Amino acid sequence: MTGRLDNRVAVVFGAGSVGEGWGNGKAAAVLYAREGAKVACVDLNPAAAEATRAIIEAEGGTAIAFEANVTQFDTIRAVVDGTLDAWGQIDVLHNNVGTNSQGGPIDTSEAEWDRVMDINLKSMFLTCKAVLPVMEEQRRGSIVNISSLASIRYLGFNYISYYASKAAVNHFTRAVALQYADKGIRANTVLPGLMDTPHIYEAMKAHYSDFTEMREKRAAASPMKRMGDGWDIAHAALFLASDEAKYITGIDLPVDGGLHCKTN
Ligand SMILES: NC(=O)c1ccc[n+]([C@@H]2O[C@H](COP(=O)([O-])OP(=O)(O)OC[C@H]3O[C@@H](n4cnc5c(N)ncnc54)[C@H](O)[C@@H]3O)[C@@H](O)[C@H]2O)c1
């Protein structure tokens, strides 16, 4: 099926990828464009935003690249203004940016806790603050926030700031969903499980010196005995962003091969 986002404008924060290949945000930005959306590709790394924009344009889609930091409201504001100048509307807000930091309550510094909270949680507050007035005026919009299975499960790693920030993302999203439910605006989260994306080779290097071992362990932990990938997250996001999900708001959608059902 194509054209599921025809005449729509999507803003994807974190539309690049930290490494070669397909991260969750890059795949979502490209998939939105394949389905007809004009896409604002936003990233802290301008080369990463530009790379995604170039892929979309090479496929015949429409995209603009923006450099912005999701922890700084003025740069988010500039993205919203630039997108409205170009296309006059914002229908999909996709918040993909997230980081993690190893450590429990004792060994995580206050500064590190604040950094993770700012990137994972405050970012979503700031992008919603900038985009919701646009959506409210349009009486139309879908917000897709990328959380994590770690928001509802202890995954065996001590990254307390990640668990806490992602759990807060879920309830932040529910509160937005309910406040705006009668205004044509929906808000949902996607909870990636154990995905094979460039992100994990950065985020998990503290736990694994051997990436083959990491891949094997992550695959073995999955009920499907394999990891998912960025496209699995992108397809879930596309569904939530599109009108096919027009009666769905406030949900947390695990995309994890069933891992959330496991008890051990
Ligand atoms: N890969 C997994 O296994 C997994 C599992 C659970 C959750 N997630 C979530 O998925 C999301 C990331 O997925 P990805 O594969 O696209 O990761 P990624 O690390 O490749 O991130 C995408 C982009 O975000 C950009 N970015 C980082 N900080 C930024 C900032 N302050 N402002 C703007 N852009 C910034 C990076 O430059 C990068 O290009 C995160 O929210 C993460 O918590 C991933």
Decide yes or no: CATH 3.40.50.720 for domain 9-248: yes
Residue 15 has pLDDT above 90, yes or no: yes
Query: Which atom in ligand 1 lies closest to the alpha carbon of residue 95?
Result: 41
205 band by pLDDT with thresholds 50, 70 and 90: confident
Residue 243 has pLDDT above 70, yes or no: yes
Return the closest-CA partner of residue 188 out of 111, 139, 246, 108.
Answer: 246
What pLDDT score does 56 carry? 98
119-143 pLDDT, tens digit each: 999 999 999 999 999 999 999 999 9
Average pLDDT over residues 29-43: 98
What pLDDT score does 104 carry? 97
User: Could you tell me the distance, in angstroms and rounded to a whole number, from the CA of residue 15 to the centre of ligand 1?
Assistant: 8
Nearest CA to ligand 1 atom 35: 44
What pLDDT score does 203 carry? 81
Residue 216 has pLDDT above 80, yes or no: yes
**Domains in the chain: boundaries:** 9-248
- Active site amino acids: 162
Cβ proximity of 231 and 197 under 8 Å: no
Q: Could you tell me how many residues make up the chain?
A: 264
Ligand 1 lined by 142 (C-beta under 6 Å): no
Ligand 1 lined by 199 (C-beta under 6 Å): yes
> Measured in whole angstroms, how far is the alpha carbon of residue 88 from the centre of its chain?
23
Average pLDDT over residues 42-69: 98
Sheet holding 62-67, edge to edge: 62-67, 38-43, 9-13, 92-95, 141-146, 185-192, 252-255
Ligand 1 lined by 234 (C-beta under 6 Å): no
Average pLDDT over residues 80-99: 98
Mean pLDDT of the chain: 97
Encode 7-30 in three state secondary structure.
Answer: CCEEEEECCCCCCCCCCHHHHHHH
User: Could you tell me the distance, in angstroms and rounded to a whole number, from the CA of residue 89 to the centre of ligand 1?
Assistant: 25
Ligand 1 lined by 118 (C-beta under 6 Å): no
Which of 22, 24, 50, 67 to mutate for ligand 1's pocket (most ligand atoms within 8 Å of CB)? 24
Ligand 1 lined by 97 (C-beta under 6 Å): yes
Ligand 1 lined by 14 (C-beta under 6 Å): yes
User: Could you tell me the distance, in angstroms and rounded to a whole number, from the CA of residue 182 to the centre of ligand 1?
Assistant: 31
106-125 pLDDT, tens digit each: 999 999 999 999 999 999 99
162-193 pLDDT, tens digit each: 999 999 999 999 999 999 999 999 999 999 99
